[in-house]
């Protein structure tokens, strides 16, 4: 029985769409990426297990006291509440300074600015700033926020550190937000303009809600990087010795943060302070994972609404 030519054509097209034809290069690339992912996860699991094992005595024996106690010269009494307060305060500065400025800059560059040499120059420099070593931002924060603006920030304070890290992650927020806005289909904008909406109404009611999951992803990456930075904090003036302050609300006071406190613990004898160092690392990882989980839940919620 003869087969119609259009049936053969349909089978050939279907086979190519479904990938039945051998794609050696694509298959190799797929397994290379999968291997890289598995290696990364394995390294993360090994590091996490090693730190939990090293800090098991502290984590199981006095976790509550370790989290709520202040720094002490005795390893059995020392805690990290001052570092937690400083880290959460710095995270608040990043969220309330870097995110609005970064999203606003991305909206202007993508929706309002003309594509000229100036805007291309600005875009290239923003991407370059995202790759600048963090210690350079620490020197910038020391020179400007801790010294030049001492009357405003109080010098080497948590305010100066928070603004410094907000500046550090600002390029990341701009880049990720701009990519999310650029991914919004033009048909959505055209539909808004077609019913007589202004550019701001289209941006506010159509573009930003559609791009919000991607913007939240950029925010998560920014906050996670800020929480883990130690070099800029030490340069700006985070305390790495005995410290009695660090309460919430003292924005112009001296400060500690978890990364700088981990650095401080790691400089002390391993035999007596190794458990405290590992336990502080695990707590910092838990805070980062909690922030990431909250952002993922929000992103999924907005994606369902979209």
**50-97 tens-digit pLDDT:** 988 988 888 888 888 888 888 888 888 888 888 888 888 888 888 899
Residue 92 and residue 161: Cα distance in Å, rounded?
Answer: 11
pLDDT in the model for residue 9 = 64
10 Å CB burial of residue 43 (0-12, 13-18, 19+) is exposed
Nearest 5°: the CA angle 290, 292, 293 is 65
Can you tell me the distance from the alpha carbon of 252 to that of 154, in angstroms, rounded to the nearest whole number? 5
CB proximity list for 285: less than 8 A, separation 6 or greater: 48, 51
The pLDDT, as a whole number, for residue 245 is 66
> Using CA of residue 246, residue 248, residue 253, residue 257, what is the dihedral sign?
positive
What does the alpha-carbon distance between residue 288 and residue 277 come to, in Å, rounded to a whole number?
A: 17
CA 25 to CA 157: how far, in whole Å?
Answer: 54
pLDDT in the model for residue 253: 79
For residue 171, what pLDDT is reported?
93
Buried b / exposed e over 238-276, threshold 16 CB at 10 Å, is bbbeebeebeeebbeebbbbbbbbbbbbeeeeeeebbbb
In this prediction, residue 3 carries a pLDDT of 47
Residues of the chain under the 50 pLDDT cut: 1, 3
Q: Are 173 and 219 in contact (CB under 8 A)?
A: yes
Per-residue CA distances from 7 to 2, 21, 151 (Å): 11, 18, 80
pLDDT of residue 228: 83
pLDDT, residue 217, reads 81
Choose which CATH entry (3.10.450.50, 3.40.50.2300, 1.10.3720.10, 1.10.357.10) describes domain 59-305.
Answer: 1.10.3720.10
* Per-residue tokens: 33: 């990426």
């Amino acid at each position: 029985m003869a087969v119609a030519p259009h049936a053969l054509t349909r089978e050939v097209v279907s086979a190519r769409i479904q990938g039945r034809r051998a794609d050696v290069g694509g298959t190799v690339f797929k397994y290379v990426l999968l291997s890289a992912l598995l290696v990364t996860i394995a390294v993360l699991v090994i590091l996490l297990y090693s730190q939990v094992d090293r800090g098991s005595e502290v984590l199981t024996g006095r976790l509550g006291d370790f989290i709520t106690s202040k720094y002490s010269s005795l390893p059995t009494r020392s805690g990290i509440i001052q570092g937690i307060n400083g880290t959460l305060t710095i995270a608040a500065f990043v969220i309330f300074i870097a995110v609005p400025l970064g999203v606003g800059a991305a909206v202007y560059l993508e929706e309002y600015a003309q594509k000229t040499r100036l805007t291309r120059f600005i875009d290239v420099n923003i991407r370059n700033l995202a790759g600048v070593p963090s210690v350079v931002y620490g020197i910038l924060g020391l020179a400007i926020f801790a010294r030049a603006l001492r009357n405003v920030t109080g010098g080497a304070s948590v305010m100066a550190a928070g603004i410094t890290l907000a500046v550090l992650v600002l390029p990341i927020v701009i880049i990720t937000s701009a990519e999310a806005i650029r991914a919004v289909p033009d048909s959505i904008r055209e539909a808004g303009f077609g019913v007589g909406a202004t550019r701001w109404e289209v941006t506010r009611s159509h573009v930003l809600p559609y791009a919000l999951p991607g913007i939240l992803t950029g925010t998560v990456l920014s906050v996670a990087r800020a929480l883990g930075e130690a070099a800029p904090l030490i340069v700006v003036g985070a305390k790495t010795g005995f410290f009695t302050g660090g309460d919430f609300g003292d924005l112009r006071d001296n400060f500690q943060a978890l990364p700088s406190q981990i650095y401080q613990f790691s400089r002390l004898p391993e035999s007596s302070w190794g458990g405290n160092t590992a336990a502080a690392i695990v707590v910092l990882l838990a805070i980062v994972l909690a922030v990431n989980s909250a952002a993922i839940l929000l992103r999924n919620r907005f994606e369902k609404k979209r």
